[in-house]
Structure 1
Amino acid sequence: MGKKGVRIGLVGYQFMGKAHSHAYRDIPFFFETDANPILQAICGRNEDAVSQAADQMGFASYETDWRVLIERDDIDVIDIVTPNNTHAEIAIAAANAGKHVITEKPLAMTVEEGERMHEAVSRNGVIHMVCHNYRFVPAIQYAKKLIDDGRIGKIYHFRANYLQDFIMSPDFPLIWRLNKDVCGSGALGDLAAHSLDVARFLVGEIAEVSATTETFIKERPTGAMTGGLSAKVEGGEKGQVTVDDAVAIIAKFESGSMGTFEATRFAGGNRNRNQFEINGEKGSLRWNMEDMNKLELYVADDEVGMQGFRTIDVTEESHPYMDSYWAAGHMIGYEHTFIHLLHEFLQGVVHGKQPTPNFSDGLKNQVVLAAIEESARSGRRLSVAEFRDTVKKA
């Protein structure tokens, strides 16, 4: 049986567009897969820029209107890597057109949007996924195996922080990531959303939250992104920052475990320090994205005098996904997390099997994000389930 062609329509072409395009191109190179991703069309509003992106990334064609892209009968998948305020409209239209859908995180701007997105993909029977790529770091997948195998026993604590510093200068411009109408929230939806998803993946669902947020620089010069996390000032005007710069969260999991989360774009010297530590009755685990191939493990019943964290080099063929790459000790990088995620997505498309994290996971994460925002606003500790019931009745 030969590979099945899956024709990709990508909406967006900047930072995440490059990451997704690269992954589609590399999946058949590294993995024994039943899917052959075909880069059929890429979409963006700026015709010159999207035309150049199509040539650079290897797409056969381009569109300047995502509605036209969705109407095309030579597209199987709509991949959404646009700002957050566009996710719902594009995803729902794609699902209604019978297209499989994957979108960048967070799933939506609000719980209500997330509910409509989930209903649309469910009603139309399409495969769907949310791009929480950090789940697909081999070291995190291996941590999941160790937890499921009972190696660290009952979990007492999950603590995570996601630290960046790219907007610390007051001269950094007011980009879309700092506009609530476009992104929904700041460090919360951009950074903490990843940590919360990893926590749900490793420990389980979150039952209660208490949070505080802060916006340190409340006014900035207007400007626009120029690729990656770089930006330029445009014009001489200034505008209001309408999202959080930092968030701190105390959480309780349904299992009884305690969670603490911090996310900030004001941690000088930290470019992308996404890390967590998990403490259980039999041991502990630690991981840091800035050294993503390493997983630290402490085992409580080690011999006295030899106890402490050991470092596991997660590059052996026995580790998740690593048998598709290089010899042990040869590192992989950030881009490979997207290869793994999109490989699982395409396998789901070909075989009609729903992968995770999907829109159901994205919606659960959206409820937690909304509960955190409300907790920070009101100063109250909130039950996530009771908060969701309140949202549904509103």
Structure 2
Amino acid sequence: MSTAPRKPLMPLDDALAQLLASVQPLAQTESVSTSDADGRVLAEAIVSGLQVPPCDNSAMDGYAVRVDDVLAAQGALPVSQRIAAGSVGSALQPGTVARIFTGAPVPPGADAVVMQEECTVLEVTDASAPPRVQINATPLPGQNIRRSGEDVARGDVVLAAGTRLGPAALGLAASVGMAQLQVVRKPRVALFSTGDELVLPGTVPPEQMPPGAIYNSNRFFLSAMLRRLGCEVTDLGIVPDRLDATVHALQQAAASHDLVLTSGGVSVGEEDHIKPAVQSLGQLDLWQIAIKPGKPFAHGRIGAAHFVGLPGNPVSSFVTFVLLVRPLLLRLQKVQDVAMKSIAARADFDWPRAEKRREFLRVRRNDHGGLDLFTNQSSGVLTSAVWGDGLIDTPPGEPILYGATVRYIPFSELLA
């Protein structure tokens, strides 16, 4: 009896392209306070209605001067006015300087600011006379002046639609007067695990764990990563390894969520019910992806909801989430640039075992500017993802020799 030839493993880039092609970004938006918008995605571009800074202002505490007056002066120059931030000075009188503070408007006529450390205030004997200042360094025109609009000009698009907002972006939005921001609504994600061997921490003490049972770790790191990506998470816990229970859980979750995410049960064993359950409710692509760890991966639709099934091994689940689920969720929120960013780095180890699949090794930066390798790269060793601070993206068939340049992807890039 002949068997059908096994399909070749799908390259990761092809799987990601298919996944992203299936995404219709969320249309609903909401208005949130700028102070509460960290991690959200802009639905509308922000256009500045003013200049930032609004006027030429001083970058230093010091003295506003005319450069020609300083060059022509035989001695000290009198101080004709004092200008603090928030106040407005008058035009600078010829042959004088103005005491000025950081952020204060530069008075008309002044063309440089000399920092106070380069000036000497002379003692005066006549209390009615203005203080006099000796300028000890020759200023250049424009020195220490922040020009109006040098940060943002009126009419500039300061933040484009699809920008994922971080602290600096929130500050920029506030600098052009935005108290409220229109953002894409949060994706709603239902999360559950499958497997009769799974036990929820807190329900059974370690010393009473039955043979073959394991604590459900995937639930916790997947939930945390989903929330970091701005999702509303509904945790449906552990679903029993029964087809009817799996169908019921999927049906209920798909009715009110944008994504149903599961871990475990995406292989083709007798106790793996995800495939027939999803197929009975919608459509499913069960991919064998050419990566290690994380070969089994499922994507489909149940009604309007996306379905993603991750492998059960914790590191496989972790890696496939950051490589595939993260970009899906970002694109769902209208983020266009979802590609992972790698950095050229030096491998301070040997990895002679060239894999047929593209491999993602857990590594950590060392004090010498290189990368150290976690000794156990098994897909079940979650310790490697805690010890490590990133992944090495290793092409198939390529061993790594000590000192080689490799593609390093920091977790700060993948988990932000």
For the pair shown, which has the larger CA radius of gyration, 1 or 2? 2
Structure having the higher helix fraction is 1
Q: TM-score, normalised by structure 1?
A: 0.28
Q: RCO (CA 8 Å, sep 6+): is it higher in 1 or 2?
A: 1
After TM superposition, the score normalised by the length of structure 2 is 0.27
